[in-house]
Amino acid sequence: MTVEKDNRAWYRKAGGKAWYFFNSLKLTLFVLITLAIVSIFGTVVEQNLPIAKYHAQYGAKWTKIILMTGVNDMYHANWFVFLLALLTVNIIVCTFERFPPKWKSLLTHKPSRFDPRVIDKCAHHHTITLNENAASVRDRVTELLKKKKFNIEKYDAEGAYNIYAWRGTWGRLGSDVVHISLLLILLGAIVGSFAGYKDYATINVGDVADVPYNAFKVRLDKFWIEYYDTGQIRQYNSNLTVIENGKEVLKQQIWVNEPLYYKGVRFYQSSYGPSWNKVESADIALVKKKTGDAVRGPFTVKWGETVIVPKTPYSVKLVDYVADFAYDEKNKIIYSQSPEANNPAVGIEVYEKGKVVSTPWLFLKYPGVVPALPDKDNDLMVTGYRGVMYSGISLNKDPGTNIVWAGSVVMALGFIMAFFVFHRRVWVHIRETGSLTEVKIGGMINKNNLVLEEELKNIADRLSGNQTGPDKRSTGDRQ
């Protein structure tokens, strides 16, 4: 019984079907197309917003889907990282499958012996006859090839001179370099996914926001909009101050495409609008519950300020606001279901003799729905308010950026190698036939046949056209 030796590479033996699964072009296309599609969702849906913001923009139903699928933080979602890991394994396996034999062929491309019959099998070959001795022709051919940056190996034999020349060997590794660049880019994406973050903050003027995973904070000092003469918005701007250890360490104006950068975190101006969760002040009146007639006021209460209700034992503090009031019973949260002031409500704290007696919501359009002063003849009612603008700031920290840039540079190098560096091999057989010298030139190229054809024709023309004397002859045989 004859036992056949398994000559497969070790990496093919270790895995069998799994190896060929990861080596599949179909898998590559599937993962790339899937990543392209889901990246659209990651672009359309703003990342890392507060839940209330998603409720305001998309409604409760779509917010539930967004949170369940992790599209709100897609680039950190387990399924997205799994796709990146799958593509990484696919590229590694493809590289292992193709690189070793290619590398071996590059190392062994120089023939151990010269066979002139190879020239006749080449797609591009020329035969010329010169009135010149073979040694002189060999020297001229060698010079021409060196001028064209060819490496040369000579195989002199009795009665003949043979030359093997090659150039652009490393160009055949272009696809492998591109594979390496993709691995670097994926590595950078994975590093950024785990060690970095993308966040979003809506900051009102004067407010200070914490920067995730950092010891410093950022304050919005000013927000303004610039307009064209036509009334269209030209630019919107924010003045930011970075605060670290209680000290102001950096002040900078930002606008679209001009971020603030501090300790690896970039702050981008991304949006703006009327705040749905804060007002500058509210006008509140004390009214009779039965008739709604005013008893005291209205009086103005600024945000976070406590004001005494005139001629009463009560004082009022303005602590909350929603533009379009809604309540999520499941998550027990109050939120604004849209950024528009469709159902504005202010949250207040009512104090009597320094103690909180109620924390009601006062609705502008529906006064008296929630009594602010239970078991009393009078009640509090909001009669108006003054809103504030918010500045939407995107925060981005990505330690994998430099790795991605390095991968991009390597990819550019790989494309140059793959598309502009051609592996050319040339065989030249020179032998004397009586008083003449016959020169056979043939070559192969891995791509762009026209380049090699022009080079071989140029060498043949220069050999033929450089003859002097009345006996200059060329057969003109160009096959």
H/E element, 426: strand 424-433
**Which of 153, 119, 111 has the alpha carbon at shortest distance from 429?**
119
CB 300 within 8 A of CB 281: yes
Higher-confidence position of 16 and 202: 202
pLDDT confidence tier of residue 22, bands split at 50, 70 and 90: confident
Higher-confidence position of 419 and 108: 419
How far is it, in rounded angstroms, from Cα 439 to Cα 431?
7
Which residues, listed in sequence order, are joined to residue 363 by a DSSP beta bridge? Answer: 345
pLDDT confidence tier of residue 48, bands split at 50, 70 and 90: confident
How far, rounded to the nearest angstrom, does the alpha carbon of residue 392 sit from its chain's CA centroid? 22
Q: What is the pLDDT of residue 4?
A: 52
User: What mean pLDDT do residues 338-353 have?
Assistant: 90
pLDDT confidence tier of residue 140, bands split at 50, 70 and 90: very high
Check residue 211 and give left, alpha or beta (phi > 0: left; psi -120 to 50: alpha): beta
Q: Retrieve residue 166's tokens.
A: 């090659």
What SS3 state is found at 63? Answer: helix
For residue 213, give the amino acid letter.
Y
User: What mean pLDDT do residues 337-351 have?
Assistant: 90
Q: Retrieve residue 320's tokens.
A: 């909350």
Count of CB atoms within 10 A of residue 247's CB? 8
CB 19 within 8 A of CB 9: no
H/E element, 102: helix 78-107
Most distant CA pair in the chain, distance: 131
How far is it, in rounded angstroms, from Cα 117 to Cα 166?
18
User: What mean pLDDT do residues 29-39 have?
Assistant: 87
Cis peptide leading into 399, omega within 30 of 0? no
Measured in Å, how far apart are the chain's first and last C-alpha atoms?
Answer: 53
Count of CB atoms within 10 A of residue 411's CB? 18
166-184 pLDDT, tens digit per residue, is: 999 888 888 889 989 988 9
Tokens 């003109």 found at: 476
- Burial track 331-370 (b if 16+ CB lie within 10 A, e otherwise): eeeebbbbbebebbbbbbbbbeeeeeebebbbbbeebeee
For residue 52, give the amino acid letter.
A
Q: What is the pLDDT of residue 478?
A: 42
> In this model, does residue 59 exceed pLDDT 50?
yes
CB 177 within 8 A of CB 367: no
152, 154, 427 from 120: Cα distances, Å = 20, 19, 10
User: What mean pLDDT do residues 327-350 have?
Assistant: 88
Tokens 């889907």 found at: 65
- Which of these ranges, 107-116, 119-128, 241-250, 467-476, has the smallest mean pLDDT? 467-476
How far is it, in rounded angstroms, from Cα 59 to Cα 323?
14
Higher-confidence position of 250 and 11: 250
pLDDT confidence tier of residue 476, bands split at 50, 70 and 90: very low
**Helix runs in 108-172, H state only:** 117-121, 134-147
**Helix runs in 1-77, H state only:** 10-13, 17-22, 25-44, 51-69
User: What mean pLDDT do residues 329-345 have?
Assistant: 86
- Burial track 208-226 (b if 16+ CB lie within 10 A, e otherwise): ebebeebebebbbeebeee
CB 401 within 8 A of CB 393: no
Q: What is the pLDDT of residue 15?
A: 60
pLDDT confidence tier of residue 21, bands split at 50, 70 and 90: confident
Q: Compute the chain's Rg from CA coordinates.
A: 39
User: What mean pLDDT do residues 53-65 have?
Assistant: 82
CB 248 within 8 A of CB 297: no
CB 410 within 8 A of CB 191: no
For residue 96, give the amino acid letter.
F
443-469 pLDDT, tens digit per residue, is: 999 888 898 999 999 999 999 885 443
What SS3 state is found at 3? Answer: coil
User: What mean pLDDT do residues 357-371 have?
Assistant: 89
pLDDT confidence tier of residue 137, bands split at 50, 70 and 90: very high
SS (HEC) of 205-238: CCCEEECCCCCEEEEEEEEEEEECCCCCEEEEEE
Q: What is the pLDDT of residue 475?
A: 38
- Which of these ranges, 273-277, 321-325, 357-361, has the smallest mean pLDDT? 273-277
Q: What percent of the chain has pLDDT over 70?
A: 94
Angle at the Cα of 222 from the Cα atoms of 338 and 278, rounded to 5 degrees: 30
pLDDT confidence tier of residue 3, bands split at 50, 70 and 90: very low
Q: Quickly list DSSP for 244-307.
A: ETTEEEEEEEEETTB-EEETTEEEEEEEEEEEEEEEEEEEEEEEETTT--EEEEEEEEEBT-EE
CB 248 within 8 A of CB 216: no
Q: Retrieve residue 4's tokens.
A: 């056949």
Average pLDDT, the chain: 86
366-401 pLDDT, tens digit per residue, is: 888 888 887 788 899 999 999 888 899 988 888 888
